[in-house]
Amino acid sequence: MAIESTKVSASETLTKTRSFGKIRCHNPSCMKRMEPTPGSKEITCPTCGMAYRIYWLGPNLPRIRGPVWDVNRKLIEKSGSSKNNPQ
Amino acid sequence: MDKFLTVNYEKCTGCRLCELVCSVVHEGVSNPAKSSIQIVKWEDEGRYIPMICQSCEDAPCQKVCPVGAITRDKTFGFMSVNYDACIGCRMCVEVCPFGAMNYNRTTHKVFKCDLCGGDPQCVKFCEVKAIEFVPAEVISSQQKREGAARQYAAAQKQASSIAEAAA
Amino acid sequence: MALDRKIAYINLSTGQTEIKPIPLELRKKFIGGRGLDAYLLYNHTPQGCDPLSPENPLIISGGLLTATCASATARAHFMAKSPLTGLLGSANMGGFFAPELAWAGFHHLVITGKAEKPVYLWIHNGEIEIRDAAGLWGKTSADTQWAIREELGDEEIKSAVIGPAGENLVRYACVMTGIKNAAGRTGMGCVMGSKNLKAVAVRGTMDIKISYPLEALEFNKKFIEQITSAKVNKTQGALGTPFIWGATNCWGGIRTRNFQYNQMENADDIEPEAIDEIANKTIGPHHMAGCFGCQVHCRTQYRIPSGPYAGKYDEGPEYTSLGAFGAEPDCKSAETLLTANYLVNQYGVDNLEIGSIISWAMELYELGIIGSKETDGLDLSFGNEKALLEMIHRICTRKGWLGNVLADGGVPAAASIGKNSFDYLIQVKGMNNLHSDERATPALALGIATASRGSDHLRSRPAIDLYHLPVDVLRKIYSSPIAYSGPLSSEQTEYVGKAWEVFWQENCYMAVDCLGICKYHTVFLGATLPNFEDWPKAIYYNTGLEFTPEDIWAVADRCNNIERLFNLREGLTRNDLSKGDTLNHRYFDEPLRRGAPDVIGLSIDRDKFNGMVDEFYGHHGWDQNGLPTAETLKRLGLDQEPTHLL
C-alpha cells in the first residue's frame, strides 16, 4: 500500500491546540484570551476595554454573541469616528 | 440479551450516514438500497424518521414465511433469515409493517438488520444519538422520565397561568 | 485500478445522449468534481460564446469521493460560462443530489443545446430520459421537486431544479435541491432556464464500490471525530453558519448600508442566537439538519414566526442571508430576514447577490442617482423592510423598470442606470461581494479580488487569518504539503505573507471541490480540520487510487490554472474594474468608521494591495499581467490544452 497509514498528520497534531471554555477579544491587535465565569452574561477585555455579550452553547462552550452596544458606541466616539456615523 | 435498537426520531438530522455505514459493513459497497436502516423523510416539513426492524415479539415476517426460514436469534433476539431455507418469495417484504425487510436487487435475496452481530455500526456513527442500542428497561425508564418531564412542564405552565389570572 | 464511473453528454436540441467512462489519466490530472468540470468547460465552450446560447455547456458533477464512505462528500458542482460575469460560472451545493446521481450511475453530466419547450431530465440507474416539463414550468423550487416525485411515483427522487427566477433568466438565478441547498453563485440557474431545462431528477440504486470497506469505515470514524470535536463545528452544529456573525460584527467586518458602515449596531434580533430561539419555538430543540453523511448538521430548520408568510417551513438562514437581508439593506427584523430567505429559496435566486444588489440600489436611491420614477414609486430607503421584500418579488419576476434592470446583474444595471452608479457597486468580475467588509483584512481583500468566479469568499479566503494564530501554527498549516519559508503574520491587518495564505487556501478549496467534500471539513473556519495530508487515506480506502499530499496539491494547482486559462480566454485582464483582479475604489478611499478600536480608520493600501497581487501571481507562476507563463503550463501539463480527451 502506497499510503502511510500510521503517520500523524499536521491537522491531527493541531487538535491539541483547541481550547475549550475560553474566548478571544475581537480587537485585532489585542486578541487576548479570556475565560468567562461559567454562566456569566458579559465580559470586558481587561486589556483594551471592549465589552462583549456572552452566550453559552454548553457549560464549557461560551461564545461572543456581540458587543455591549453602549460601550461599543463610546469606544467608536472615543476614536474620533462619530462624525457622519449615526447609529 | 434483551437489548433493542431504538430510535429517537426528533434527534435525527436526516444525514443518512447510518444507511451508508450499513451497506458498507454488510456489502462492501455504498448503496442505501442495500441498507437495513432507512431514513424516511418528509422534506417539505423537515421530518426525518429512521425506520428499523423492531424485532417484533409476534413477528409477521416469521408468521408469513411458508418455509420457516425466519427465526429469532437466540443470543441477540433479532429475527434472522436462514438463506438455506429461504425460497425468495418476498412475502416477508410485503408483510412487514415497518418496511424493515428489504430485497437486494443484485443477489436477489431478502435482507434485514442483523444488529451487526451485537455491535450495531449505525449506532456507532450516529453522533446525535438518534439511534441507540440499549436494554429494554432503559428505554422504558427513559420514556417514563421524558413523559414525566412533559407532564411537569404542563402543570407548571397551568399553575403560572392561574397565578397570572389571579394577579 | 480504474474506477467504473461514467460521464454523460446530453444534447437538448437533438435529444441525443452519449455515455462514456472517465479515463484514469484524467482522474490523475483533475481528480473529479470541480476540477474535471473546469477541464470540460475549457474543452467544450466555444470562445466568446453567449452564456445564454445553446452552445454554453452546463456541467454537473459529484466529486471523486461523493457517495463513498468518506465524511461529508455530498457536494454537487455546477459549471458553465456565467451569464452574470461572462467569465467562469461555478457553483457548489450540498444536500442529497450528488450521491443520488452517483448511485444512478453518473459522476459528470455535460448538457448542451436548448430544448424547444420546457423539459426535465430523468436519470435513473444508468438511463437518461428527456421528459416534458410543461406542468412544472412556473412552479417554485420546492413544489417542482414534490411534483416530480408525484409524477414519477418515487419519493426518494432527488432533483436539482430552477424556480421562477431561473425561468425568467435572472442572471444570478441558482439551482436548488431540497428546501434550501443551492448552487447559488454565478447564475447557473439562469443557464438552465436558457436551455428550457426545469430540472434534473435522479434516482439510483446502483453500487458505488468501496475498495477497502473496513479501513474506509474505520478511517471515516476517526475523520468524523476530528471534525465534530472542533469548537467551530460544535458551534456551527448548534447555530448553523450564522454563528460567524458574533465575531465579525464585533470587530467590524459586516458591510452595512451597502458599504457605508462596517458594523450593524443594535441588531440583536437577527443575531444567530435570536434565530435559534425562533427555531426552538417553531420546530423544537432538535432543529438542526445535515447533508448526506455529515455529522456537523449545520442546517437550521424553522417556520416563519409572523407576517404574511407565518407558519411556512424553511431552512437556513445561512450567514449570507444575515448580511444580504439584514446588514446590507439595514433591516433589523428577524421576520423580514426569514421571509426574504424563504422567498429566495422558493424563487431560486442567489440570496447573496440579490440582497447585495438591492442594497446598492438603496444607496443609489439615498444619493438621488435613482428616484421614484425608476422605482415605480417604491420608497427604496435603507431599512424599509417592505421595500426589500417587494424588490425580491420584482427582480425574480422582472417586474417594473428597476426590477428588470437589476435582474440583469450589477454591471449591466449600472450601465442602464448610468451616472456614477457603478462607483457604488461592491463587485469583482461582475459578481457582488458577500456582506463581509475586507478593509481591515488585506488577506481577505486579496482573496475576493482574485477569486476565479468573481467576488467570493469560498474560493480562497484564509478565514483563519482572523484567529490570531501563532506563527508556528500558521507555518505548520501553510508549509505543507509544499514548503514555504517566506514570512507569515498573525495580524489580520497585515499584508506580509498573506498572498501565500490565499494561494494555499485556493489550492485547498479546489482540492475539496474536486473530492466533493464540504469546506466545513477542511481548513476554512477551523484551523485544526483535515487537509492535504489527511485526504490520501480517504481516497485510497474508498477508491483504491493512490495520491500523495503533493499530488493533490499539484492537481489543485493545475485545476486553478485551467480556470484561469478559461477566464483569460473570455476577457479577464488584471486591472479591469468589472473583469479583473481588482477592487472597487471604495476599499482604498473610504476608511472604516465602526467596529473595534483597532480597525476604525483602516482602508486597503493601494500600493501594498498591488504588491500582494504581484506576489500572489508569483506563487502561481503567472506573469505581472496574471497570465500563466509557458513554463508554468508545461510544469502542470496544460501546455497542450484543449486536449479534448473527454
Mean pLDDT of the region C12-29: 96
pLDDT tier at A1, thresholds 50, 70, 90: low
Residue the block writes with cell 421562477: C164
B–C contact: 3+ Cβ pairs < 8 A: yes
Q: How far apart are CA C595 and CA C599, in angstroms?
A: 7
What's the total number of domains in chain A? 1
Residues from chain B that touch C288, judged by Cβ atoms under 8 A, are 13
Say yes or no: C384 contacts chain B, CB-CB below 8 A.
Answer: no
Q: To the nearest whole number, what is the mean pLDDT of chain C?
A: 97
CATH number of C442-635: 1.10.599.10
Q: What is the pLDDT of residues B4-47, one digit of tens each?
A: 899 999 999 999 999 999 999 999 999 999 999 999 999 999 99
Say yes or no: B4 contacts chain C, CB-CB below 8 A.
Answer: no
The confidence score (pLDDT) of residue B1 equals 54
Least Cα separation, residue C622 to chain B (angstroms): 42
The confidence score (pLDDT) of residue A86 equals 58
**With an 8 Å Cβ cutoff, are C69 and B125 in contact?**
no
C28 pLDDT above the threshold of 50: yes
Residues from chain A that touch C246, judged by Cβ atoms under 8 A, are 55, 63-66
> Do C442-635 and C6-203 fall under one CATH topology?
no
Report the interhelical angle of C213-228 vs B17-27 (nearest 10°): 150
B167 pLDDT above the threshold of 80: no
**With an 8 Å Cβ cutoff, are B30 and C228 in contact?**
no
The confidence score (pLDDT) of residue C568 equals 98
Give the one of B11, B17, B29 whose C-beta lies nearest to C208's C-beta: B29
Euclidean distance between the first and the last CA atom of chain B, given in angstroms as a whole number: 56
**With an 8 Å Cβ cutoff, are C69 and B21 in contact?**
yes
C17 pLDDT above the threshold of 80: yes
Preceding amide of C481 cis, omega within 30: yes
pLDDT tier at C73, thresholds 50, 70, 90: very high
pLDDT tier at B162, thresholds 50, 70, 90: confident
Query: In this structure, is residue B78 part of a structural domain?
Result: yes
Query: In this structure, is residue A71 part of a structural domain?
Result: yes
Q: What is the domain range of residue A55? A: 20-78
**With an 8 Å Cβ cutoff, are C293 and B15 in contact?**
yes
Give the one of A11, A65, A79 whose C-beta lies nearest to C530's C-beta: A11
Query: In this structure, is residue A15 part of a structural domain?
Result: no
Q: Where are the domains of chain C?
A: 6-203, 230-432, 442-635
C-alpha cell at C130: 428527456
Say yes or no: B25 contacts chain C, CB-CB below 8 A.
Answer: yes
pLDDT tier at B160, thresholds 50, 70, 90: confident
Mean pLDDT of the region C537-563: 97
Question: Between the CA atoms of A6, A10, A16 and A22, what dihedral angle is there, to the nearest 10 degrees?
Answer: -150
Question: Between the CA atoms of C537, C538, C539 and C545, what dihedral angle is there, to the nearest 10 degrees?
Answer: 40
**With an 8 Å Cβ cutoff, are A9 and C533 in contact?**
yes
Give the one of A11, A30, A63 whose C-beta lies nearest to C246's C-beta: A63
pLDDT tier at B141, thresholds 50, 70, 90: confident
Residues from chain C that touch A81, judged by Cβ atoms under 8 A, are 593-594, 600-601
pLDDT tier at C1, thresholds 50, 70, 90: very low
Q: What is the pLDDT of residues C591-602, one digit of tens each?
A: 999 999 999 999
Q: What is the domain range of residue B105? A: 3-136
What's the total number of domains in chain B? 1
B165 pLDDT above the threshold of 80: no
The confidence score (pLDDT) of residue B135 equals 87
A–C contact: 3+ Cβ pairs < 8 A: yes
ipTM of the complex: 0.94
Residues from chain B that touch C295, judged by Cβ atoms under 8 A, are 15, 17, 125, 127-128
A40 pLDDT above the threshold of 60: yes
Q: How far apart are CA C185 and CA C432, in angstroms?
A: 10
CB pairs under 8 A between A and C: 133
Give the one of C142, C146, C208 whose C-beta lies nearest to B30's C-beta: C208
| C230-432: CATH class | mainly alpha
Query: In this structure, is residue A4 part of a structural domain?
Result: no
* Residue C413 contacts residue C427 (beta carbons within 8 Å): no
For B9, list phi and psi in degrees, rounded to 5: -65, -25
C6-203 fold: Aldehyde Ferredoxin Oxidoreductase;  A, domain 1 (3.60.9)
